[in-house]
Amino acid sequence: MKALEDKIRAEGIVLSDQVLKVDSFLNHQVDAELMLLIGQEFAARYAEAGVTKVLTLESSGIAPAVMAALALKVPLVFARKQKSVTLKDDLYVETVHSFTKQQMNEVAVSRKFLSPGDKVLIIDDFLAHGEAALGMARIVEAAGAAVAGIGIVIEKSFQSGAAKLKEAGYRVDSLARISSLTGGEVRFAEE
Ligand code: G4P
């Protein structure tokens, strides 16, 4: 998606060979107009997929996901992160390991908001090792619902996540695919 790649080129800060900082438009300040375009792009790609819900993980997934939900005219559910869930009876809970932050998070969704028969579009801001997306997919499947696909704003194609998700059989739609961050420079994968 050209507008997103242009924004990454203009404002993305390469922190290391592994990490891109995009806090001016996605992870701290949010460019709402760009998020609207991103949501519309996801909605166009999934227009025929029968999506009934969008699912993301708080916090940075919420902005693009709410715009996708708006464009698809379906509800957005965001999984909540908690250190340790004690009362699990009415929740779907999965443990997700964050390589980037070196921590384990329990992510939880109320059983009220996912049902068998739902077709769920999973959205996340970054795809690195795929742990967050796989955790959300496990929650969807625990509810007896189906994963329509996984929509990613920024995929780091040089890390293992995209391959892992495709191997697991999921449709993956990434709007920007970064092939390398070496030498302080962002390179995009060829379409
Ligand atoms: P994974 O889910 O694909 O396995 O990725 P990982 O565990 O490595 O990511 C952990 C957190 O770091 C996620 O945010 C993810 O969005 C973010 N992240 C991963 N790579 C990058 C990167 O290159 N740049 C930036 N800015 N973030 C990255 P989170 O913990 O869920 O935080 P938030 O949603 O509350 O912001």
User: Which residue minimizes the CA distance to atom 15 of ligand 1?
Assistant: 126
**Pairwise CA distance, residues 144 & 157, whole Å:** 30
| DSSP-assigned beta bridge partners for residue 53 | 120
- To 5 degrees, how large is the angle CA 42–CA 56–CA 18? 85
| 3-state SS class at 191 | coil
Closest CA to 123 of 143, 140, 110: 140
User: Which residue minimizes the CA distance to atom 24 of ligand 1?
Assistant: 20
Expressed in angstroms and rounded, the spacing between residue 82 Cα and the centre of ligand 1 is: 16
**Pairwise CA distance, residues 165 & 163, whole Å:** 6
Which atom of ligand 1 is nearest the CA belonging to 19? Answer: 23
User: What pLDDT is stored for residue 41 in this prediction?
Assistant: 98
Reading the block at residue 31, the tokens are 């460019």
Per-residue pLDDT tens, the chain, 191 aa: give them. Answer: 999 999 999 999 999 999 999 999 999 999 999 999 999 999 999 999 999 999 999 999 999 999 999 999 999 999 999 866 666 779 999 999 988 788 888 999 999 999 999 999 999 999 999 999 999 999 999 999 999 999 999 999 999 999 999 999 999 999 999 999 999 999 999 76
Which atom of ligand 1 is nearest the CA belonging to 131? Answer: 4
User: What pLDDT is stored for residue 100 in this prediction?
Assistant: 78
| DSSP-assigned beta bridge partners for residue 177 | 155
**Pairwise CA distance, residues 184 & 58, whole Å:** 28
* Topology of domain 2-188, CATH: Rossmann fold (3.40.50)
Q: How far is CA 171 from CA 90, 120, 186, in A?
A: 29, 12, 25
Q: How far is CA 139 from CA 13, 44, 151, 160, in A?
A: 33, 25, 16, 21
pTM confidence score:
0.95
| Alpha-helical runs (H) found in the chain | 2-11, 32-45, 62-72, 131-142, 161-167
User: What pLDDT is stored for residue 71 in this prediction?
Assistant: 98
Expressed in angstroms and rounded, the spacing between residue 19 Cα and the centre of ligand 1 is: 9
User: What pLDDT is stored for residue 173 in this prediction?
Assistant: 98
Q: In the Cβ-directed half-sphere of 110, how many Cα atoms lie within 13 Å?
A: 5
Expressed in angstroms and rounded, the spacing between residue 128 Cα and the centre of ligand 1 is: 7
Q: Which residues line ligand 1 (CB under 6 A)?
A: 19-22, 27, 57, 59-61, 98-101, 125-132, 156, 161
User: What pLDDT is stored for residue 83 in this prediction?
Assistant: 67
